[in-house]
Amino acid sequence: MPQHDVEITISKTGEVKVHVKGVKGKACLAYSQWLSDIIGKVKGQQYTSEYYEPETKARINLQQDLKIDEQ
């Protein structure tokens, strides 16, 4: 399973920079939106090369089979 990292840097002047790593495609925007809701107004935005890569979607299908030994 891919790991997503969010790197947050706060300067002495209070400027906050956020770098989302490990998220391909536009999915990183969900992290950015969540953080901007908490932190406040977005001053600027730069996309990394990961933004332009195709999104990877994983589907996990869990199934459990129970076997009971009757003796």
- Which residues share a beta bridge with 67? none
Write down the pLDDT at residue 31.
77
Sign of CA pseudo-dihedral 48, 49, 52, 56: negative
Residue 29, SS3 per DSSP: helix
For 28, counting Cβ atoms within 10 Å of its Cβ (0-12 exposed, 13-18 middle, 19+ buried), the class is: buried
Cα–Cα dist 57/9, whole Å: 29
For the chain, what is the radius of gyration of the CA atoms?
A: 19
pLDDT in tens, 7-56: 888 889 988 888 888 888 888 788 778 878 877 788 888 888 888 888 76
Write down the pLDDT at residue 6.
81
Write down the pLDDT at residue 50.
83
Write down the pLDDT at residue 60.
47
